[in-house]
């Protein structure tokens, strides 16, 4: 495997380039499709992902007796140090037998080098209403005032507390803090909700264990 980054031009007449502003990586990520763009919302929220890079490395692999090269869409570095290469594809394209054969060969080459490889599709990524919710939450996740007031909000909700989103907004108003606060806490995993429910004032939010203060035991 050759660790050579494939550069995507910021603007191109030949392909659509989507710029994703990553909070986790603190820089802009260039994606070649809207599906790849949507996939990054999940990586931003996944706490097992320490860091990631788009169009990261070129994989050399053997296919039908010839050495070929392939550049997966994302390299993921897990918190435990393990590496995973991920390819993002529309599910429809996986009906192509030649492509499936090629991806199996790429996977084998990665595993030989101790690197995981998997394919995710629009069926994994464009799950609604979850994706729409993540898009909305992400707009609030990086706001400095929301991060600063998160502890105040959680203390007001109380240990093992739960509120509806509407009640959370009212609580923010009483505390005189930004209404972005509960939305940022949702994105960062400190408030949980049922992912099959759309974002609404009736949505129930529960404080997660990781958001609770340490008991010191």
What whole-number distance in Å separates Cα of residue 100 and Cα of residue 54? 21
199: its two tokens = 């974002």
Report pLDDT for 159.
Answer: 62
Q: What is the pLDDT of residues 143-154, one digit of tens each?
A: 888 878 999 999
Q: Among positive and negative, which fits the CA dihedral 208, 41, 49, 143?
A: negative
Q: pLDDT for 165-199, tens place per residue?
A: 999 999 999 999 999 999 999 999 999 999 999 99
100: number of CA atoms within 13 Å, CB side?
A: 7
Listed by start position, the domains of the chain span 18-125, 130-211
What's the rounded Cα separation, in Å, for the pair 171 and 182? 10
pLDDT score recorded for residue 148? 83
Counts for the chain of helices (H) and strands (E), in that order? 7, 11
Residue with tokens 């009640």: 167
Please provide the CATH number assigned to the domain covering 18-125.
3.40.1350.10
């Amino acid at each position: 495997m050759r660790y050579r980054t494939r550069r995507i031009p910021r603007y191109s007449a030949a392909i659509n380039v989507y710029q994703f502003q990553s909070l986790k990586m603190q820089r802009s990520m260039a994606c070649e499709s809207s599906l790849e763009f949507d996939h990054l919302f999940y990586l931003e929220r996944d706490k097992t992902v320490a860091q990631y890079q788009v169009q990261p490395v070129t994989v050399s692999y053997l296919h039908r007796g010839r050495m070929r090269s392939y550049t997966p869409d994302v390299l993921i570095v897990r918190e435990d140090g393990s590496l995973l290469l991920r390819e993002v594809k529309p599910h429809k394209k996986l009906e192509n037998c030649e492509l499936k054969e090629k991806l199996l060969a790429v996977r084998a080459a990665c595993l030989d080098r101790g690197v995981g490889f998997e394919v995710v599709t629009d069926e994994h990524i464009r799950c609604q209403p979850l994706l729409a919710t993540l898009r909305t939450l992400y707009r609030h996740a990086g706001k400095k005032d929301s991060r600063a007031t998160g502890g105040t909000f959680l203390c007001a909700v109380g240990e093992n507390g739960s509120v509806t989103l509407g009640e959370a907004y009212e609580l923010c108003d009483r505390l005189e803090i930004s209404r972005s606060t509960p939305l940022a806490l949702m994105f960062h995993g400190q408030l949980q909700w049922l992912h099959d429910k759309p974002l609404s004032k009736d949505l129930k939010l529960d404080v997660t264990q990781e958001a609770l203060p340490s008991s010191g035991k």
